[in-house]
Chains A and B, each alone.
Chain A
């Protein structure tokens, strides 16, 4: 609180202006040091920035491809885990299968976000994006396949008839041994 008060109470005593006035010729009241030519620096500026931009675009494209390929590793790992989990329904297999399904779906939902940092007018993101989507779809397919091997997909007739109620009967008959 003391500090606060001190700040609030007293005004500024001193200040340093860090504004760089070197590029503004109008305020050039200080002469350049000897051997320093301002002109050459001005000429170079455009070429270096172009180079820089190209490098950045390259880097971005490269990164984008890397990101797009990332699910492949995931896919392999998933496949291994699925193989480990076996084909009977229990905790592991269900957990793995559902995460195998969930990961590609969430990844597909966030395709735009994943490639956001590499967005550039010069970079063609369509290729990486398609690869990314394809790989994730592959993962999804793997998950669905696993789901099927677990018997959790309604692909059999039994899945559709097991809830059918018994058919109504047209006739009614009653009776039995006479009462006595």
Chain B
């Protein structure tokens, strides 16, 4: 956290000197204050963004998440820190504090490195198996450092499992049995050495399960070959020696699901999924016994599935929405124990003493959940029975893990870790929720912002209760300014600054710093985060994005600002539009949901009859400031929302000027479409329109493949169309929202770095007008390849790619200027306003454009790129680059200016043109995330604040990071550490001095008169 900004300091001291000089000059020349302002602005033109150590956390916040938990292993045996080790669906391994739920350590594995199993070995190592059973890693339990890593190879893909043998010891070593990729491996837990490998895939056997045998060094590996043959291998776990191999045929065939009931009994389903087959392989003999499901349950129509469980003597069968617990009694008799609805969850078994094993069952009942812990051999009695009130926004319980502890009276107590439908993680103990984590925030899909209410009455400032507190705070600050503060005071000042209630109020502020960040997560839950401190203001598990009978796997797609009352309809709250669809296919029906951003309530939801391929927010709003949106379905029909006559009238007025385009990356085709007429046929309604093809750009598939596109943000504001160069010349920017940047590469080079030679790899950059389909600019980078990240703003595009010849990453900039406006140079015509510079322009007018471009080397590979946006577009821009190290780097646009030359003239230097260098500099102070990391960074979102100088930056991935940036410094406001108290005291002192001297002078004058 130590951040010493020497450069920043020197800049500021230089600044003070300059200010001193300014004042003395002004006394010299008796200039007015206006000069001072101008000069202040001029001298602050050269700015460097940096942060002092004590400013960390004032305007930024950082939150860490792990994602939806898949497996959890408790580590509570020893005294000291109690922890739980979890692996998640976001490929994270983490060690959490069992007391508070905080993260001790965490590792984010790559996106393709899904975790299959997690366990603890030797009491000090965390063992993880990932990438379909091919990578085995050991991490040190206390600090999370990796101890060893083993790669396990196998011929084919298969089910993978991880097992640490508890009983088996060889010279203090424990053997880890891994099955995966068709093999069974024995791995030493001390150094990860592969002790032995048994390739069972060679015998075309697919291993289903590895079963340890109690009190011996033998294991069983059971599996199927073909549909009907069952194999059981008895293997010596020490050396991998094959002791026995039994095989038997079952004419009914197996579907490949197995449940282990005891160490010698398995239950499987036949291919019709109507017969349960009990397999016992005691003493080297395999016996099958069939039981019809219908004989156990009356209503057994539906697909039966065996759910993975570890209950002793029992297994779980799922039919439709029912969950059945079935006990195997005796040799092969099945007996139905309990019937649950689908919302009930059963935990794995936990051995609590020598011969006792317990498991937990969680059921839903109204607003409460009921947790029962039972002994596995006694179904009817409960060790623990608790009811806990649960927030309805958390949905159903998805997983439960239990752990026991010994109470002071030597009885067993249990704690349960629960994973909910909204991906949150809760720890229950003694009927209470000890802590909870909102881990849905690790998987954000889309972000938008909303203003806070204006109403002053809504919020109450906490912290500064009264005038005395306020005064105390300011006096402390004053002490700090006058360097009188003691170390304790400094700490207190910092605490006051960090806890400032000002930034976390729930009302709109004058500068527009306080906003609600509305985020849509993979769990189908929407959160509203306060931009001041990152807390969750409200959250909503969208009913339309929940699994239901209508829709089995709904997915959220995007968030849009639906209604933003600005001038009209001020009595209405702003709302957002959530677009989702039901299923993964391209013609899955769409679902829309409208959510009030103040209250967090769903206003309305629509199950649409059509699919959704694209959503186009139009630049028109109706009388209640609802934005018009076009939804394009898979059949290229366009549907207008909101479905009101008013929206239709507005749309029809602008009908002829609305176009849309589609990028088919797989076929390398870009097509432009025009909206023709209302739909005909069975889908006909007033809000559906047919579209026709207008133009298409077909790239040759054998040489060009589309890998990236970029267009301007629709909410970007551009202040001016002219760019003034140092010699007072004007260049007119070609500013169009209908420009599309497209990058294509040779198909060979699209796979990954190293896949193509420099000779056969090329990258082509295009600028395309999406109304007419005209290619405005085309550029070739020979020997370059993707991945390409591009950002488009105003009249420029910056893109990042890999240069194979130079073996370096490169960034290029293209600026595009309108040559047809260049003759507007007559001052008198401009003075009297006789020009057509502000007249509406059409893309069909065929503007003559010129481009300038330049390329630079860049050190980092890039995960995401964005550009700062400000309210009026006056402030200079910064590129925000998400680096491979999960940090966000701010790079001034001045560094990627195609007008840079090696030796800029004096005038160009004054204009701010930096001498050309082949590398883009990486200034350590310009890391926006300073010492923090946004693990798994996926995207960077910028939102303008109301104050022109400031932009709000939100970066998300596994972690969330928010901060405020001022690319040209905060030239329009006083800094946060400005001492108002000092100013006030100075004014009071001055006023007092004026009075005193006035009285004194009066008296003196009088005396003089009498002399």
Contact = CB atoms under 8 A, between A and B. Distances in A.
B705 to A, nearest CB: 13
B730 A157 contact: yes
Interface stretch (B321-329, B821-829, B999-1007): B821-829
A166 interface: yes
Contact of A89 (B42, B632, B714, B728): B42
A94 B38 CA distance: 11
A167 B839 CA distance: 6
Interface string A140-180: 00000000000100111111111111111111111111111
A91 interface: yes
B232 to A, nearest CB: 44
Interface string B828-839: 001100000111
A158 B658 contact: no
Interface stretch (B360-368, B597-605, B734-742, B981-989): B734-742
A72 interface: no
A65 interface: no
A150 to B, nearest CB: 12
Given A161-B830, A171-B659, A179 B557 contact: yes
B22 interface: yes
B624 to A, nearest CB: 21
A170 B842 contact: yes
B606 interface: no
Contacts of B614: 174-176, 178-179
Interface in B802-837: 824-827, 830-831, 837
A178 B911 CA distance: 43
Contacts of B827: 154-157, 159-160
A6 to B, nearest CB: 14
Given A155-B827, A158-B728, A158-B730, A175 B660 contact: yes
Interface string B583-594: 010100000000
Contact of A169 (B42, B557, B612, B841): B841
A73 to B, nearest CB: 20
Given A95-B28, A95-B29, A169-B738, A180 B586 contact: yes
Contacts of B615: 179
A174 B620 CA distance: 13
Interface in B31-45: 31, 35, 38-39, 42
A58 interface: no
A179 B612 contact: yes
B1009 to A, nearest CB: 12
Contacts of B617: 174
B709 A161 contact: no
A122 to B, nearest CB: 40
Nearest to B794: A166
Given A94-B31, A162-B724, A179-B614, A169 B843 contact: yes
A99 interface: yes
Interface string A66-99: 0000000000000000000000110110111011
Contacts of A155: 827
A56 B615 CA distance: 94
Interface string B644-658: 000000000010011
B711 to A, nearest CB: 7
Interface stretch (B342-350, B404-412, B715-723, B932-940): B715-723
B311 interface: no
A174 B720 contact: no
Q: Could you say which of B584, B613, B664, B910 has the most chain A C-beta atoms within 10 Å of its C-beta?
A: B613
B630 A170 contact: no
B583 to A, nearest CB: 11
B35 A178 contact: no
Dominant SS among interface residues on chain B? mixed
B663 to A, nearest CB: 5
Contacts of A158: 722, 724, 728-730
A161 B737 CA distance: 21
Given A170-B840, A170-B842, A175 B663 contact: yes
A167 B720 contact: no
Interface in B536-592: 557-558, 581, 584, 586
A164 B619 CA distance: 21
B720 A169 contact: no
Interface in A99-140: 99
Given A98-B29, A167-B837, A170-B842, A157 B826 contact: yes
A173 B659 contact: yes
A167 B654 contact: no
Contacts, number: 162
A95 B720 contact: no
Q: Could you say which of B29, B42, B737 has the most chain A C-beta atoms within 10 Å of its C-beta?
A: B29
Contacts of A94: 31, 35, 38-39
B750 to A, nearest CB: 15
B31 A98 contact: yes
Given A161-B830, A164-B722, A170 B841 contact: yes
Nearest to A94: B35
Interface in B617-631: 617-619, 630
B837 A91 contact: no
Interface residues of A, number: 37
Contacts of A180: 584, 586
Contacts of B732: 161
Given A161-B722, A161-B730, A176 B659 contact: no
A176 B709 contact: yes
Interface string A28-48: 000000000000000000000
A173 B630 CA distance: 11
Contact of B29 (A96, A169, A174, A178): A96
Contacts of B664: 178
Contact of B720 (A99, A154, A157, A162): A162
Contact of B721 (A92, A164, A171): A164
A59 to B, nearest CB: 34
Contacts of B49: none
Contacts of B831: 160
A89 to B, nearest CB: 7
Nearest to B658: A172
Nearest to A156: B728
B836 to A, nearest CB: 8
A178 B632 CA distance: 9
B661 interface: yes
Contact of B35 (A98, A159, A169, A176): A98
A176 B824 CA distance: 35
A179 B630 contact: no
A101 to B, nearest CB: 12
B16 interface: no
Nearest to B736: A169
A113 B728 CA distance: 43
Nearest to B730: A158
B166 interface: no
A89 B35 CA distance: 11
A172 B711 contact: no
A164 B613 contact: no
Contacts of A157: 730, 824-827, 830
A146 to B, nearest CB: 14
B770 interface: yes
A17 to B, nearest CB: 30
30 contacts: A91-B22, A91-B29, A95-B28, A95-B29, A96-B29, A98-B35, A154-B827, A156-B827, A158-B724, A159-B827, A160-B827, A160-B830, A161-B722, A161-B830, A162-B730, A164-B837, A165-B719, A167-B841, A169-B841, A169-B843, A170-B657, A172-B618, A172-B658, A173-B660, A174-B617, A175-B661, A176-B662, A178-B613, A179-B614, A180-B584
Interface of A: 88-89, 91-92, 94-96, 98-99, 151, 154-180
Given A99-B29, A158-B724, A172-B738, 5 more contacts: A88-B910, A94-B35, A162-B724, A174-B618, A178-B613
8 A-B pairs closest in CB distance: A95-B29, A174-B616, A160-B830, A158-B724, A173-B659, A178-B613, A175-B661, A156-B728
